[in-house]
Chain A
Amino acid sequence: MTQLLATTLPEHSSDGYVAAAYIVFFAIVLIYVAIMAVRLGRVERKVEELRGEATKSDIPPARARGIADLDESNPNPALPDKGQEHALEGVPHGGGRSEGHRQAGRPL
C-alpha cells in the first residue's frame, strides 16, 4: 500500500509517508466507527424484537416500560430497578452469544 501511495502521491517520498500515516490513522478510526455502527444496528433490531414480544405477551406495564427505556428516542430512560440490577450481575461483559447461556465469551 505504501508503494502504491508513493507512486500516486507527490514526487517527494516524505509527502507520501506523511499521507500514509494520516490515512492509516483515519482508516483505523473509520473502521472502528463502522464496526460500532453495525453493532448499533444489531442492538436496535434486538430492541424491536423485544418490544414486539413485550406487546404480544402479558407483561405488566412496568416491565414493558423497562424495555421501552431502551428506545433511544425516549427522553426519560428509567434506571434499572433492583431486580434488573441483579440480573445484570450474571452477564459477563464479553460473554455469550445467546441470552441466559453462559459461555467463555467472545469480545463484545
Chain B
Amino acid sequence: MRRPSLRALSIATILALCVSLSLVFFYAPIEVEEGFLQKIFYLHVPLAIVTLCGFVIGGLCAIAHLRTRDQRWDLRSYVFIHMSLIFGVAVLITGSIWARGSWGHWWVWSEPTLVSFLIVMLLYATYQPLRFAIEDPERQARYASVFAITAGAFVPMNFLAVRLSASYLHPRVLGSSSNLPAPMALTFLASIVAIALLFATLCAYELAAKRTRILLKARSRILGYQS
C-alpha cells in the first residue's frame, strides 16, 4: 500500500467536498423555478456523470486486461465497476428524492433519461453474479472483461440515444441553450471535482485493500505449504 498517496488523496477529497458543500449552500444562488430544491442538482448530476464515466473506465481497463493479460487491469476494472454501482445507487435514490420534490412522483416511467439509467444499472447489477459464478480465475477475469467492454460500450450509446430523443421532464443542463449562470457553473464544476475525487479515493482504497488481501492469501498458502 502506498500510504502517502492515499493520505494525500483523502485530504484532497475532504477539502474538495468541504469547498463544494460551502459553495452549494453559501455561494450558489437559489434557482428561480425550483427554489432551494434545485440544490440537489449539485449532488445528483455529478454523481451521475462520475458513475457513467466509471463504467466506461471499467470497460477501458477490461480492454487493457484482454490485451496484456495482466491481472492488475482486471482488478482495476472490477473495482471501478463496483464503485460505479455504489455511486449509481446513490444517483437513483437522490434522483427519486429530487423527482418527488420537483414533479410530485418518485419515478416517471415515461422519462427516457431515468429509464435508460435504470437499464444501465440493472445491466451492471448482473456483473458480479456473472463473475463469481465462474470458479476458474482466468476464465472469470476473461468473461468479466468481455462483459465490461460490451456494457461499457453500451453506456455512451445509451447516453447519446437519450440526448437525441425528446426529454419530457428531465431538465437538460449541460449543452442546453440556457447556460448556467457563472456562480452556478462554478459550484457545479466544484461539485464534479469533489465527487470525482471521492470516487478516485474510494477506488484507491478498494484497490489497496484487494491487493493486500490477494497478497495475504498467497502468502498464507506459501506458509501453509512451508509448514
Mark A residues whose CB is within 8 Å of B: 2, 12-15, 17-18, 20-22, 24-25, 28-29, 32, 36, 39-40, 43, 46-47, 50, 53-54, 57, 59, 63, 66-67, 70, 72, 77, 80, 83-84, 87-96, 99-100, 102-108
Contacts and interface: CB of A to CB of B under 8 A. Distances in A.
Given A67-B223, A70-B215, A104-B132, A93 B75 contact: yes
A36 B94 CA distance: 23
A20 B97 CA distance: 8
B128 interface: yes
Given A25-B47, A57-B223, A100-B221, A17 B40 contact: yes
Interface in B131-171: 131-135, 137-138, 140-141
B107 interface: no
Interface of B: 1, 3, 34-37, 39-40, 43-44, 47, 71, 74-75, 78, 82, 86, 89-90, 93-94, 97-98, 100-101, 128, 131-135, 137-138, 140-141, 198, 202, 205-206, 209-210, 212-224, 226-227
The 8 closest A-B pairs by CB, nearest first: A17-B101, A14-B37, A87-B218, A92-B137, A99-B220, A21-B94, A21-B97, A21-B40
B35 A14 contact: yes
Given A94-B131, A105-B132, A89 B47 contact: no
A21 B90 CA distance: 9
A104 B134 CA distance: 6
A79 to B, nearest CB: 10
A92 to B, nearest CB: 4
A86 to B, nearest CB: 9
Contacts of A95: 132, 135, 137, 140
16 contacts: A2-B97, A21-B44, A29-B198, A40-B209, A70-B219, A72-B1, A87-B221, A88-B214, A88-B215, A89-B71, A91-B217, A95-B135, A95-B140, A99-B221, A103-B135, A104-B132
A13 B75 CA distance: 43
Nearest to A92: B137
B209 A36 contact: yes
Contacts of A87: 218-219, 221-222
B209 A72 contact: no
Given A21-B44, A93-B141, A108-B209, 5 more contacts: A72-B1, A91-B217, A92-B135, A105-B132, A107-B128
A65 to B, nearest CB: 11
